[in-house]
Amino acid sequence: MEPATKQLEFEALKARVAQLETELQANPEQWRPAAAYPMYEAVSGFVLGIAGAAVALLANVIAAPMAGKDPLQLIRVYLTFPLGEKALALGTAQGGSHSIGDGMILAFGCCLYLGTGMLLGALFQPVLRRLADRSFFGRLFVASALSLLVWVVGFYGILSWLQPATCGGNWITDNSVLPWWVAAVKHLIFGWTMAILYPLGRFRPPVAEVEKS
């Protein structure tokens, strides 16, 4: 093949490559998630769950003194699993027997509380999307039902036998330590917060651009 012919063929190939590059840049192949995006829901549920737990904890901190209780009594009760009865004395005159300061333990308990809310948020977010995505009152109803279900199963289906078996007592479900209605309302506040904040974590699939003819 003559050099001139090779040069012409080479120039034609270069032109074809340039044309293909232009077409690819004009119509890039982009990954578009479908309407359901479980990973996005899980992450947004984590974030909103922390917010829901923070609101529930703040409500308890504000309301507890009105009932003559310590603001962090709820955290003490939850720390009885796994610390046992001695957790009820944290931050009081009877406490202070731990190698770690009581304040640090209570702070750790608050973090565990928020972490639990984070995990529950990953459950609430997809359930709300599937059952009441566009209805605010529907979300409130679903969130209320799910909150009470989590409370009943967690407290009376699991902790009622697990805490006595591991810690030698049953303080979380003892009404003299933590009234049942306080636990129920705390769960409801969490669920209602999730229902209110749900739109902030709703996944919105990107709309494909319509090519102009």
pLDDT digit string, tens, across residues 139-186: 999 999 999 999 999 999 999 999 999 999 999 999 999 999 999 999
Residue-averaged pLDDT of the chain: 87
Q: What percent of the chain has pLDDT over 90?
A: 57
Structural domain harbouring 104: 38-201
3-state class (DSSP) for residue 34:
coil
Report if residue 206 sits inside a domain: no
- Kindly tell me if the per-residue pLDDT of 89 is higher than 90: no
Domain presence at residue 33:
no
Q: Is residue 12 part of a domain?
A: no
Would you say 25 and 175 are in contact if contact means Cβ atoms under 8 Å apart?
no
At a CB cut-off of 8 Å and minimum separation 6, what does 61 contact? 71, 72
Q: What would the pLDDT profile of 22-56 be if each residue is shown by its tens digit?
A: 877 776 666 667 667 888 999 999 999 999 999 99
76 contacts 109 by C-beta, under 8 angstroms: yes
CB atoms under 10 Å from CB of 203, counted, come to 17
In a domain, 124, yes or no: yes
- The pTM of this model reads 0.79
Q: Which two tokens stand for residue 191?
A: 């669920």
pLDDT interval class at 213 (50, 70, 90): very low
Q: How many domains does the chain have?
A: 1
Confidence of residue 95 (pLDDT cuts 50, 70, 90): low
Question: Would 30 be classed as within a structural domain?
Answer: no
